Structure 1
Amino acid sequence: MYIRTTVAQLNSTLGDFEGNMKKIISAIEIAENNNSEFLIFPELFLTGYPPEDLILRTSFLKKNIEYLEKIINFSRGKNVIILLGFIDIEDDAYNSLAVIRDGKLLGKYHKMHLPNYSVFDENRYFKSGNEIVIINYNNIKIGINICEDIWSPLGPMFYQAINGAQLILNASASPYFHGKRELRKNYLSKKSYDHHCPIVYCNMVGGQDEVVFDGGSVVTSSDGKIIFEGKPFEEEIFTIDIPIEDNLRTNLHDPRRRYINIVNDKPINYIFVKSENINKLKPINYKNKNYTLTKEEEIFRAITLGLKDYIQKNGFKKVLIGLSGGMDSSLVAAIAVEALGNKNVVGILMPSMYSSSHSIEDAKKLAENLEIEYHIIKISDIYYSFKNSLKDIFKGTSEDITEENLQARIRGTLLMAVSNKFGYIVLATGNKSEIATGYSTLYGDMVGGFSPIKDIYKTDVYKIARWYNKFKGKEIIPENVFIKPPSAELRPDQKDQDTLPPYEILDEILKMYIEKELSVDEIINKGFDKDTVKYVAKLVDRNEYKRRQGVIGVKVSERSFGKDRRMPITNKYREW
């Protein structure tokens, strides 16, 4: 005996009810043609996720219900049971799953565990549900729940399992960070084994502002094996037969569930559904694929997807990048070409009197290798004009970082001028090491509408760039970019490490201080130089004001700047 289920791992656009509905209808047709018994969509697929403060607008909530009714009407004559994420409105707003079949809303499930950490703020917007839902389908018990519900040790799945659930269907919008895919697979495998219950985990795919959903939906068996895995970072609709009798067989051979003595204190709502089509079809033959990606490829694909969706969903066509001949702008340009095509990427070279000849040549060679349009605008005359305008007020002072930042701000102004004139969006090229330490200029190299690599440390930027050249099978990013010392080239013979520790040391300290929240003393005790650690911590703490004004970019780490890490700017707490 098996349950045939179609998983719609799709990319939802926030607020695009019409576009999302078209995808929903197409998936319903596919599921119906495949004689599926169940069709599951990702969490809040109808609205898009996360809706944030749109949830506070009653017009948005009403529009969501209006389109839910359209989909219910479309389902007339359809046998498949549809599980669709939407926002229910009763006494409050609920993150919900609608159970739809043959023109009827059979029932609803309200998410019980509302995450309020990392990028999540669900307690701000939703009321928690308090009722377990089990679909009794031809006397087969199927539990349904939403994303975080399945991650809780004593969440709905636990109660569904002890009440005889033989299958769990979970609608999810699980954001990506590096390592999350393996963590998710391992957790779901263990969860299904512990409860002797197969799981269908349908995950969203696509970018929404700084968050990327990586897809990779998972189907497990009752003994904890992964029997199918959806494609990472791609839309996919697949249909699979989930064996049900294996659930009983596993329980008989490993009867741990008999000894659970916890009293079920949760109300259970049973939705009863009868079908004549159960198990009258020849089982689907499928072969599971193991999507193993290197760290570099996984992060590159996440950023590419995040950039592509941000540009396209916001109605832009072309991006503009300041090409310096350095590694950061080179990698951003490569990502942009992969995401949008070379016809939609424009580079601007803005050499100054301090720009080395090799940097200009490296930037030109990169643009030619990527086959993108590029232009050269020299900034020396503009710089001297600015200095001349400031000479009276600067009288009696010596040149310092002010004159360096002036060059960066001239470049930012030129990029924004081209952006305004042609409607291109500027991509900022700062990496996480620079953004963490404030090694960047407000209204200069920080300008832009999106920052693709803002959550990637400098050492990883080099590794990803090296992977990219290998992936392309030829030199796209010039070899000289890899071997020359990193430099902002804002003064003669300037090197990044005149100001910063070597990136190999800096990045390790930053990971511990930012992502692990280790104290200065704890980092020093791990063998790092005391003065270096204090200096790095001081840079991080003092530059929160810059990060607060910085542009958003793709989250790829467990703790990115922005929603993940919310430090006050004004505070007196110091460890340095």
Structure 2
Amino acid sequence: MLRITSAQINPTIGDITGNIALMLQAARQARDEAADIVVFPEMSLTAYYPGDLLDDASFQARVEAGLAQLLLATRETPKLYWVVGAPVRRAGIGKPFYNALLVLKNGEQVLQYAKQLLPTYNIFDERRHFEPGPDVTRVLRVGDVQIGLMICEDGWNDDGQDYVVNPFQRLADAAPDLVVSINASPSNIGKREQRHTVFGAACARHRLPLLYVNQIGGHDQLVYDGASFAVDAQGVVVYEARRFAEDVTTLSFDPVGRVFVQHDGAALPTVPKAGLPTMEFYRQQIVLGLKDYARRCGFTQAVVGSSGGIDSALTLVLAVEALGAANVVGITMPSKFSSEGSVSDSVVLCRNLGIRLIEHPIKSIVSAFEETYAASFGETLQGLPLENLQARVRGTTLMEFSNRFGHLLLTTGNKSEVSVGYCTLYGDTNGGLGLIGDLYKTEIFALCRHINTTAGWELIPAAIIDKPPSAELAPGQKDTDSLPPYDVLDEILKHLIEGDRLAHAEREHADAKMAELRAVPEGMALIVRIQKMIARNEYKRRQAPPVLRVRGKAFGSGRQVPIAAVQYA
């Protein structure tokens, strides 16, 4: 019987000493549970993904020192094999590094395997720094068990559709008893189920059991959910680690029956086929993303502009869940166009959340701008410039507070508005991080209702959820004055921005709406208008804060579109 520890840890990019400490702590647990081998995620030494830090000579030196430190650490557990991930320098023509898997034991390197398939799509750009590993199989013998080894993307091409090379097939040809895959697989809606489908099919095809160990944690825009798992030789997922939390678990593997059991020999509990409900997934992904972003950037507190609208309300709720009520501040900044509910609804919400709400009226500040503008330029400030001025005064006020008191400013734009530029650059786009920037407006409403349902009361007041969305920058202004209804707009945006990356049901729904619109001239005109709005506002998105990614295609590193280009003729 082989005892194998899945060490799903939360490493920090560049914190090599801290990451080694996490690995050593997990290895000690593995040793105490009489494990033979402990498995860490892909690039566990540096965390995934260090990006252009790999070009920095001082970082390269720290990686080399970290590898030496890691070897020393393994001497504390002399009987235990460590499977770790790290960038390893290579010689010859090509990129300077391999994305490598190393097997270490008692101060020695036992084995090295270099990742063969380097993703360069969506959010990935590994070919920028790494050279593909040679088309070879690496198998580790531990006692009587032969363990085949691979890294993340190597296991995603068993259908042969994306790469010429199929490392899973090559590994299967070596006939191991068990496959171990180390991974840094970022999370988005449906990703857990996709992993289970892809690896379950490969395991069933080759009649091979597999242990898949994933990273967790928030890293800038990306969140890794963990959810490490084991699959039996029939392709059935028989074990799953926690989601959005560190999890170090020792399993036993019987090489004769090729089955996984708990480390004490008891049967594993059944793994549910369905994961978290969509809204709960969004909630947990965003909360972990904010926790780690704040922690890693040195923030303990956050500030949000509280407009009395649904976007700022949801942002405040998620911020409180991540950081605690004592560490979140709301600021309401009414103008002469603000409705009564702008302040009163904010007061009720912040009272419900137990957070401090500061009122900072901007009417006199805006008036001063209007007067000096008229004096300098000989005309009245009105229309769009006046609307944007109010947003920029609010943005400046929030940045002043952030600068003075050290709070992280959270921007409150949603994906629907950000897509079409329904936001003010240097105004409501100010901030360090966007929590809801990958959620469409219809999803904002749904998540607020979900939060109230799970709370068992109106944590977010119904008045906020039910009021017609408005920027409140002009008399009687409503979002629908400038945009189509959100249930229509969101389907157009899903089709144009995410397309094939949508889940099947979402894609069908979006395609049906697009077909309906294309059938009439006014619908076709609306589609063209939205296409142009998306293209025209790329420059805003480039200057906006990063947003936490929850869907298959998010603005940011995963969508590289030029600003100065003719996208739609």
TM score, norm. by length of structure 1: 0.91
- Specify the alignment match of 1:561 in structure 2: 555
Matches within 5 A, 1:270-281: none
What is the CA deviation profile of residues 452-487 of structure 1, one whole-angstrom value per residue up to 9, with x for unaligned ones? 111100000110111011111221111001111000
Pair 1:127 & 2:110 matched:
no
- Specify whether residues 423 and 449 from structure 1 end up closer, same or farther in structure 2 by C-alpha distance, changes over 3 A only: same
CA displacement at 1:446 relative to structure 2: 0.4
- Specify the alignment match of 1:540 in structure 2: 534
Which of 134, 145, 148 is residue 140 of structure 1 equivalent to? Answer: 145
Amino acid at match of 1:548: R
Pair 1:101 & 2:101 matched:
no
What is the CA deviation profile of residues 535-557 of structure 1, one whole-angstrom value per residue up to 9, with x for unaligned ones? 11111111111111111010111
- Specify the alignment match of 2:216 in structure 1: 205
- Specify the alignment match of 1:485 in structure 2: 468
- Specify the alignment match of 2:507 in structure 1: none
Measured in 1, the distance between the counterparts of 2:176 and 2:166 equals: 14
What is the CA deviation profile of residues 25-79 of structure 1, one whole-angstrom value per residue up to 9, with x for unaligned ones? 1011011111111110011011011000001113212212212222212222521
Measured in 2, the distance between the counterparts of 1:170 and 1:229 equals: 14
- Specify the alignment match of 2:166 in structure 1: 155
Which of 265, 273, 276 is residue 283 of structure 1 equivalent to? Answer: 265
Amino acid at match of 1:532: L
Amino acid at match of 2:8: Q
The answer (yes or no) to whether the contact 1:229–1:288 under 8 Å persists in 2 is no
Measured in 2, the distance between the counterparts of 1:328 and 1:85 equals: 40
Amino acid at match of 2:528: K
- Specify the alignment match of 2:122 in structure 1: 118
Q: Which moved more, 1:136-145 or 1:53-62?
A: 136-145
- Specify the alignment match of 2:43 in structure 1: 44
Measured in 1, the distance between the counterparts of 2:438 and 2:168 equals: 34
- Specify the alignment match of 2:422 in structure 1: 439
Amino acid at match of 1:322: G
Q: Percent identity?
A: 37
- Specify whether residues 220 and 517 from structure 1 end up closer, same or farther in structure 2 by C-alpha distance, changes over 3 A only: closer
The answer (yes or no) to whether the contact 2:223–2:548 under 8 Å persists in 1 is yes
Secondary structure of 2:552's aligned partner: coil
What is the CA deviation profile of residues 63-96 of structure 1, one whole-angstrom value per residue up to 9, with x for unaligned ones? 1221222221222252121101111112121111
Secondary structure of 1:553's aligned partner: coil
Measured in 2, the distance between the counterparts of 1:190 and 1:197 equals: 10
Which of 398, 401, 406 is residue 423 of structure 1 equivalent to? Answer: 406
Measured in 1, the distance between the counterparts of 2:314 and 2:255 equals: 48
- Specify the alignment match of 1:531 in structure 2: 525
- Specify the alignment match of 1:414 in structure 2: 397
What is the CA deviation profile of residues 225-272 of structure 1, one whole-angstrom value per residue up to 9, with x for unaligned ones? 11100111111111111232235x9xxxxxxxxxxxxxxxxxxxxxxx
Measured in 1, the distance between the counterparts of 2:86 and 2:270 equals: 30
Computed over aligned residues only, the root mean square deviation of the Cα atoms, in angstroms, reads: 1.9
- Specify whether residues 526 and 245 from structure 1 end up closer, same or farther in structure 2 by C-alpha distance, changes over 3 A only: farther
- Specify the alignment match of 1:387 in structure 2: 370
CA displacement at 1:140 relative to structure 2: 2.8
Amino acid at match of 1:107: L
Q: Which moved more, 1:223-232 or 1:146-155?
A: 146-155
The answer (yes or no) to whether the contact 1:512–1:523 under 8 Å persists in 2 is no
What is the CA deviation profile of residues 197-244 of structure 1, one whole-angstrom value per residue up to 9, with x for unaligned ones? 111000110000000001100101111111100111111111111232
Which of 189, 193, 202 is residue 191 of structure 1 equivalent to? Answer: 202
Amino acid at match of 2:294: I
What is the CA deviation profile of residues 118-145 of structure 1, one whole-angstrom value per residue up to 9, with x for unaligned ones? 1111000111110321112335321111
Structure 1: segments with no counterpart, 5+ residues: 250-278
- Specify the alignment match of 1:69 in structure 2: 68
Pair 1:181 & 2:192 matched:
yes
Pair 1:550 & 2:544 matched:
yes
The answer (yes or no) to whether the contact 1:240–1:284 under 8 Å persists in 2 is no
Measured in 2, the distance between the counterparts of 1:327 and 1:521 equals: 28
Measured in 2, the distance between the counterparts of 1:68 and 1:390 equals: 61
Secondary structure of 2:180's aligned partner: strand
Structure 2: segments with no counterpart, 5+ residues: 159-164, 502-509
Measured in 2, the distance between the counterparts of 1:172 and 1:517 equals: 24
Secondary structure of 1:516's aligned partner: helix
Secondary structure of 2:257's aligned partner: helix
Measured in 1, the distance between the counterparts of 2:380 and 2:317 equals: 42
Which of 352, 357, 361 is residue 369 of structure 1 equivalent to? Answer: 352
Measured in 2, the distance between the counterparts of 1:71 and 1:439 equals: 50
- Specify the alignment match of 2:240 in structure 1: 229
The answer (yes or no) to whether the contact 1:321–1:346 under 8 Å persists in 2 is yes
- Specify the alignment match of 1:87 in structure 2: 87
- Specify whether residues 111 and 306 from structure 1 end up closer, same or farther in structure 2 by C-alpha distance, changes over 3 A only: same
Which of 246, 251, 254 is residue 240 of structure 1 equivalent to? Answer: 251
CA displacement at 1:397 relative to structure 2: 5.6
Amino acid at match of 1:569: I
CA displacement at 1:286 relative to structure 2: 3.6
Amino acid at match of 1:242: F
Measured in 2, the distance between the counterparts of 1:517 and 1:151 equals: 17
Amino acid at match of 1:554: L
Secondary structure of 1:88's aligned partner: strand
Secondary structure of 2:175's aligned partner: coil
Measured in 1, the distance between the counterparts of 2:567 and 2:535 equals: 9
Which of 436, 439, 452 is residue 435 of structure 2 equivalent to? Answer: 452
Amino acid at match of 2:292: D
Measured in 2, the distance between the counterparts of 1:85 and 1:562 equals: 26
Q: Which moved more, 1:148-157 or 1:188-197?
A: 148-157
Secondary structure of 1:59's aligned partner: helix
CA displacement at 1:572 relative to structure 2: 2.3
CA displacement at 1:283 relative to structure 2: 2.6
Aligned length: 542
The answer (yes or no) to whether the contact 1:432–1:456 under 8 Å persists in 2 is yes
CA displacement at 1:4 relative to structure 2: 1.4
Measured in 2, the distance between the counterparts of 1:136 and 1:11 equals: 28
Q: Which moved more, 1:414-423 or 1:67-76?
A: 67-76
Measured in 2, the distance between the counterparts of 1:221 and 1:95 equals: 27
Secondary structure of 2:388's aligned partner: helix
- Specify the alignment match of 2:459 in structure 1: 476
Measured in 1, the distance between the counterparts of 2:143 and 2:25 equals: 27
Secondary structure of 2:249's aligned partner: strand
Measured in 1, the distance between the counterparts of 2:551 and 2:209 equals: 30
CA displacement at 1:292 relative to structure 2: 3.0
Amino acid at match of 2:318: I
CA displacement at 1:284 relative to structure 2: 4.8
CA displacement at 1:398 relative to structure 2: 6.7
The answer (yes or no) to whether the contact 2:238–2:268 under 8 Å persists in 1 is no
- Specify the alignment match of 1:273 in structure 2: none
Secondary structure of 1:207's aligned partner: strand
